[in-house]
Chain A
Amino acid sequence: MTTDAAGLGKARASAFVLPALALIAVFLIFPALWTIYLGLTDYRLTGLAAAQPRLVGVDNYTGALADTRFHTSLWLTVLFVGGSAIAGQAVLGFTIAWILRSRRGPVRRLVEGVVLLSWILPSSVVAFLWIALLDRSGGTLNALLGTPGFAWLLDYPMLSIIVFNTWRGTAFSMMLYSAALENVPPSHLETARLAGASVPQQLRDVVFPLLRRHILTNLLLISLWTFNDFTPFLLTAGGPEGRSEILPVYVYNVALRGGSLGAGAAISFLILLINLIMALAYLRLLRGRRRSQEAAAGGPPA
């Protein structure tokens, strides 16, 4: 490409880029850096430490790392990501894409339509749909199963939010795998079929090797988004008794509800580090692949 087709000039080009960069710097990059500082103080939302925060060094970090509530939260987050993103969204999304790949017409459009709809609805609306579905006294699920009075959100909070997030996010995996499966040459599958390979053998020998990159991309992105997903807060608020308190909810409860901004910032920083590892792995995957559409990742469902 030639340089400067419109004769913009360096000065005007800088003027075009700067406002966007300034906004990103103030509201994205600065907060990330500030987290590090806040995490080293005993800053509180109210009270004496709110007016004059003290530097407490790595106390917040050692405190968090020794806190069983943090351990529980971390473990629940691993369950949440493993259960809803990897075992849920990725597996279900791939299965749907695989079964729909040779179908056209209204059935395919209906399936894609409902899966996509559950993805694009506003998260607060979606949360209420699930509250209504799982409600103890009059929920649709209890009416359907004939188990009146069963409190899903209280008795099985983790299972509830895992199934919920599977429902919520499968669309992305389904679409990614649908697009990827279109690029598997039919002749490869036909060759395998002619050789007498069963469906699992076809998947193992033909499809998965070809889709390796797509699968890795998909797993990294949905893990990153699920790891940061705040929506379960709207279903269980972390309860009962912290039994569904995944890290995003934990930070909110500690910092903004409990008022310990410093401690919350320390946890935030740990989340940032984990995000960074996942994002670096993802961007490493992208490199070499020119101008990938998936690179346009916007982030998790807000």
Chain B
Amino acid sequence: MTRHVLGRLAATAFIAVVIGFFTLPMLWLAAAPFDDTPTITVSIPQFTLGNFQAILDNPYAAGSIVNSLLQAGGAAVLVVVLAALAAYALSRVHVPGRDLLLYLLLLMSSVVTGTAAMVPIFELATRLGLIDTHLGVILVVSGGLLPAAIFILKDFMDETPTSYEESARVFGATPLQILRHIVIPLVRPGLSTIGVWAMASVWGGFLFQFILLRDPEKLPGSVILYTLYTEGGAPKLDLISTFSLLYSLPVVAMYLLVSQRYGFRFHGGIKR
């Protein structure tokens, strides 16, 4: 009996420590943005919303949100459209070597990471004139996201009975009509999941944006955070904390949306 009670106590203590460990770093994010004179220490804030006004006044901070939207949104649209087309064709038409192809793509996408490919990617972008362009960021990140996106979407498509399409086909629908009327509405949960996943990965992504962009006018929020220093080299804590909070909210909202609407289908490493 004592052993059981001790076990319960130990488990409860462990849970408390875990909550403490994971919450501690986040407290600053909850407190500092509303503090009149934020320091790096967590303290009860002198409540203010002035820091949010300061963000709006910063020439690069507001623009970087637009850049993030362009890059993350562009990549999400590109990934969803291209992956959906490819996954549909691969799911429905038997191409010889299809399974091998998917296997190799999946292998490549886990092997060719940003770390391993940063030198050639930088070189390639330089030669194609893609340095300092939104398009460059979109194309590079999409290339990395596509294999997993195709793989997951093909799974969705495989689970959809072909009789829906055949039925429409017997009624005379063309392949493109079938795609528009039947297939896309049926796999919409999959498309949304992939869209949100791609958007969130690019929104929070750092490495490619960091090496492909130099011009502060083009930098997304995840990189601009590292430029918010005073001329003296001290971090502008009021801006950094506030901007961090603002920048995190969309990602959290997107995750909540997907898990609420479609249930959290556990796709292993769907988070990048």
Name A residues whose Cβ lies closer than 8 Å to a Cβ of B: 1-10, 12-14, 16-17, 19-21, 23-24, 26-32, 34-35, 38, 92, 95-96, 99-100, 107, 110-111, 114-126, 128-133, 135, 137-141, 143-144, 167, 172, 175-176, 179, 199, 221, 224-225, 228-231, 234, 247-248, 251-252, 255-256, 261, 264-265, 268-269, 271-272, 275-276, 279-280, 282-283, 291-302
Contact = CB atoms under 8 A, between A and B. Distances in A.
Given A128-B244, A272-B116, 11 more contacts: A17-B89, A117-B26, A121-B204, A125-B204, A129-B28, A129-B244, A132-B40, A143-B41, A172-B268, A179-B266, A268-B115
A17 B90 contact: yes
B268 A3 contact: no
Interface stretch (B44-52, B54-62, B161-169): B161-169
A302 B92 contact: no
A139 B41 contact: yes
B207 interface: yes
Given A35-B117, A265-B120, A16 B85 contact: yes
A5 B169 contact: yes
Contacts of B21: 167
- What is the predominant secondary structure among interface residues of chain B facing chain A? helix
B144 A38 contact: no
27 contacts: A1-B158, A6-B178, A6-B179, A7-B175, A13-B92, A17-B95, A21-B86, A24-B143, A27-B139, A29-B112, A32-B112, A99-B11, A117-B22, A120-B252, A129-B25, A132-B32, A140-B42, A172-B268, A225-B269, A228-B114, A234-B206, A251-B115, A256-B119, A264-B119, A271-B113, A276-B111, A300-B113
Contacts, number: 351
B69 interface: no
A7 B109 CA distance: 31
A124 B222 contact: yes
Contacts of B203: 122
B9 interface: no
Given A6-B183, A21-B86, A122-B247, A13 B95 contact: yes
Interface in B4-48: 7, 11, 14-15, 18-19, 21-29, 32, 39-42
Task: List the 3 shortest-distance A-B pairs measured between CB atoms, nearest first.
Answer: A27-B143, A122-B204, A294-B268
A32 B108 contact: yes
Contacts of B29: 125, 129
B146 interface: yes
B169 A138 contact: no
A299 B206 contact: no
Contacts of B1: none
B268 A221 contact: yes
B169 to A, nearest CB: 6
Given A6-B183, A19-B82, A122-B204, A272 B169 contact: no
Contact of B271 (A114, A137, A140, A301): A301
Contact of A275 (B94, B113, B122): B113
Contacts of B191: none
A4 B32 CA distance: 58
B267 interface: yes
Given A167-B22, A298-B270, A1 B162 contact: yes
